[in-house]
Chains A and B, each alone.
Chain A
């Protein structure tokens, strides 16, 4: 008894499965997203911390801020360089969305690319979409 044909069929299915990422994209890389900065943000040059730090740690900062505001009612953030900031995500000009006013052009750019779906906006009100 020899089941070679069945085994080969199984192997082909297996190889198709594990090479899935290679043929799903069919050789064309989607462009790396570049979050759009508003003029106000560009003018400031730097967020509450340097750009590289914000890139990888912003979620941690927001998590710490939430803890600090909700549990301790403390809204002042002192950055590493000693500058003071108002801890707030979406309360107007003196908050994150004060500079990063468009969720679509800023937050979603990278979040969609990396398949991250933070639940910020289930409580906070999304910044209004820019009028066209």
Chain B
């Protein structure tokens, strides 16, 4: 038992019950279907912009890249252009691999102390693999949901669905991304529970998004494959939402509202949480700055303006006294 994950788990269970009871018993479809989702989208957009602008207003006076290779130096020393970029081009390549392939996570190692107090570092790729699977499947699921919000459904979206349901398992056809999403997010959760060091540094704020996403994926999968909802009604609802003429069609089960409420909570929680790494990764100064401190001078923008008195001015002021006292001067008169 750990109060941190219990706290998050209870929070998510309360949220689920809130939506379920609210719709099932109190009939608050308008609140959970219209008011809360719009508010969540608004909070997400405004909060996201606010957070990023807050970061953007902090100047970065000095280049502080984390270097993972040889710095640009003398011509006969081989320069590592991506891992220790010197130009904007190098930075762009570095950020590209970081954002799309999580290159820094790929360097993840596990360290162990062997007999005789010898330390060894072990190749550990599961975190990288699960993260990559998680982020890409989540992206696919998110894009796939656009089919509810767009009419007519664009061809590229239909193509994505065809690829995603490639194996034609069951009816309605199994979307691989949904299964991969649930599996990978479960792995990321179990990792936090089972590895003692990771459990020790995990906070409630780490578990909450995991439980939330697990619940969102589970309710989505339940709706598609098991309990079933009226999909035309769902699309009617989503189209109303996207065209700002919200309606609450009949015959959509309360499971849908639970799903929608959890997604709304995720959106609204996003700007206040560690999930902001979505925007933050672009702004991480240890990645997005070229390492050119030795070639260029970067002046600190918040240096105070100091009143200075140069030696020339000093000599001008005291020249006669200096000559009288026999001190050497640079200009005689």
Q: Which residues of A contact B (CB under 8 A)?
A: 1-4, 7-8, 10-11, 14-15, 18-22, 24-30, 32-33, 52, 55-57, 59-60, 62-63, 110, 112-119
Contacts and interface: CB of A to CB of B under 8 A. Distances in A.
Nearest to B232: A110
B56 A113 contact: no
Interface string B25-61: 0000000000000000000110011001101110111
B282 A10 contact: yes
12 contacts: A1-B60, A1-B61, A8-B53, A21-B150, A24-B149, A26-B243, A56-B229, A60-B171, A112-B153, A115-B147, A115-B157, A117-B161
Contacts of B232: 32-33, 55, 110, 113-114
A102 to B, nearest CB: 18
A88 B158 CA distance: 28
For the complex of A and B, 10 pairs with smallest distance between CB atoms: A21-B149, A30-B151, A63-B171, A115-B153, A115-B147, A56-B228, A21-B242, A7-B56, A29-B243, A59-B171
Contact of A25 (B57, B172, B239, B298): B239
Contacts, number: 107
A26 B61 CA distance: 44
Given A1-B60, A4-B56, A55-B230, A27 B235 contact: no
A14 B276 CA distance: 13
Interface residues of B, number: 47
A59 B230 CA distance: 12
Chain B CB within 10 Å — which of A7, A27, A33 has the most?
A: A7
A59 B172 contact: yes
B158 A15 contact: no
Nearest to A32: B236
Given A7-B283, A18-B45, 17 more contacts: A2-B301, A7-B52, A7-B55, A18-B44, A20-B146, A22-B244, A27-B244, A29-B240, A30-B152, A30-B239, A56-B231, A60-B171, A60-B228, A63-B171, A112-B153, A113-B235, A117-B161
A113 B161 CA distance: 14
Interface string B164-181: 000010111000000000
B191 to A, nearest CB: 29
A21 B230 contact: no
Contacts of A29: 151, 239-240, 243, 245
Contacts of A62: 171
Contacts of B172: 59, 116
Given A2-B301, A119-B168, A11 B49 contact: yes
Contact of B59 (A2, A55, A110, A119): A2
Contacts of A21: 146, 149-150, 242
B239 A56 contact: no
Contacts of B328: none
